[in-house]
Structure 1
Amino acid sequence: MTKARFVLLEPGEVRRGRVRLPPAFAVKAMTEDTEGRFSLLEVTLVRDIPRHTHFEADECLYVLDGELGIDFDDESHVAGKGAFVVLPHGVPHALRAVSQPPPRVLQISSPGGWEHYLEDLIEAGPAVLTDGRLDPVKINPVAARHAIAYDG
């Protein structure tokens, strides 16, 4: 029943999954809320995201505050407040903060599942880090379960 999927979140509220995510990742619509069509998160980019490729999901970003650096294939861009970008699946990209405070974005993945990938990363804990940074070699076994691969 479609009516049963209605979600209304008050300001500051988030959808809770199986694992509590850090405050930088506020889940607004879970994959299950949209019958798998998409997931939506409000993300503060406190850590740069290394070059990677989504093989199934398109990623859309709308910049709410700050400036977001986007390396897409062999191009570099800066997206400021109010900018919107579509990162189609199959093309490598990386994201980085180019402002202080760090950029805050609405992030939509279609089909959904991004929040479950984040839950898996949280469960993996420091095993995916080297010297406090995401390590592509260590993160790839987790990412592969979600059709994502990081450049080594």
Structure 2
Amino acid sequence: MNRKKFLKTSLLTASAVVSTPAIVSFRTEKSTSNSIEPKVVRAQEGKKVNVIGDQQTFKLTGKDTNGQFTLIEEVNPPGTMIPPHVHTKEDEVFKVLEGELEVTVGDETTVLKAGDLAFAPRNVPHSWKVIGDTDCKTILSAFPAGIELMFEELGNLPPGKPDFAKVAEICGAHGITFIT
């Protein structure tokens, strides 16, 4: 039995059992507003962006999730780091799949290993650095989506040593400030 037929039969049966009038409405047309399409992203798929040395692959963006969240895979060598900063628009979750990531959130610094995660809520300073002697693979989730737009802007900067004033300007436009 298909899902719609099952639900319709179940609802009609339930309403008959309790003997109360029920109005059953089934939507058969596809809504384009606020609808989210299923998506499968294979291991090597996604948009690759070098964000000032942070090697990112966008797996899901706001376009895929109706703005709910962004999911990014990061694979970086030891020494790669992001200095202390604060987000005002999104919360972040860092989940380490391989390697080691030293993370500071607020006043707490810890080392994350495969399977560990850290939650960095908006308005709380945080930073991270790949440590150890192997690459670190991390899944970064940001709620709500939108941070990928900033990462794309940063990824479009000219190669070489980054102009920190320009980086701070781009980040500031997206609600992120660095702590000096």
- Say whether the fold is shared (TM-score over 0.5): yes
- Kindly state the Cα deviation for residue 126 of structure 1 after the two structures are TM-superposed: 4.7
**Residue number in structure 2 paired with 1:48:** 81
In structure 1, the gaps of 5 or more residues are none
Larger Rg: 2
Contact 1:71 1:77 in 2 (8 A): yes
Q: Secondary structure at the match of 1:50?
A: strand
Q: Secondary structure at the match of 1:101?
A: coil
CA RMSD of aligned residues (A): 2.0
**Residue number in structure 1 paired with 2:141:** 108
Q: Secondary structure at the match of 1:21?
A: strand
**Residue number in structure 2 paired with 1:57:** 90
What is the TM-score normalised by the length of structure 1?
A: 0.84
In structure 2, the gaps of 5 or more residues are 1-31
What is the TM-score normalised by the length of structure 2?
A: 0.71
- The question of 1:26 aligning with 2:57 is answered yes
**Residue number in structure 2 paired with 1:97:** 130
Per mean C-alpha deviation after superposition, the further-off stretch among 85-94 and 20-29 is: 20-29
Letter matched to residue 130 of structure 2: A
Identity in percent: 25
**Residue number in structure 2 paired with 1:13:** 45
Q: For 1:85, which of 118, 121, 131 is the aligned residue?
A: 118
Q: Secondary structure at the match of 1:6?
A: coil
Q: Secondary structure at the match of 2:127?
A: strand
Number of residue pairs matched by the alignment: 142
- CA deviation map 1:13-48 (0-9, x unaligned): 11x4xxx51392111101111111100011123420
- The question of 1:151 aligning with 2:179 is answered yes
**Residue number in structure 2 paired with 1:75:** 108
Letter matched to residue 74 of structure 1: D
- Kindly state the Cα deviation for residue 113 of structure 1 after the two structures are TM-superposed: 1.5
Report the CA distance shift for 1:102/1:11 in structure 2 as closer, same or farther (over 3 A).
closer
Structure-to-structure mapping, 1:111-130, within 5 angstroms: 111-126=144-159, 129=162
- Kindly state the Cα deviation for residue 6 of structure 1 after the two structures are TM-superposed: 2.2
Letter matched to residue 29 of structure 1: L
Letter matched to residue 66 of structure 1: G
CA distance in 2, matches of 1:128, 1:120: 16
Q: For 1:66, which of 99, 118, 125 is the aligned residue?
A: 99
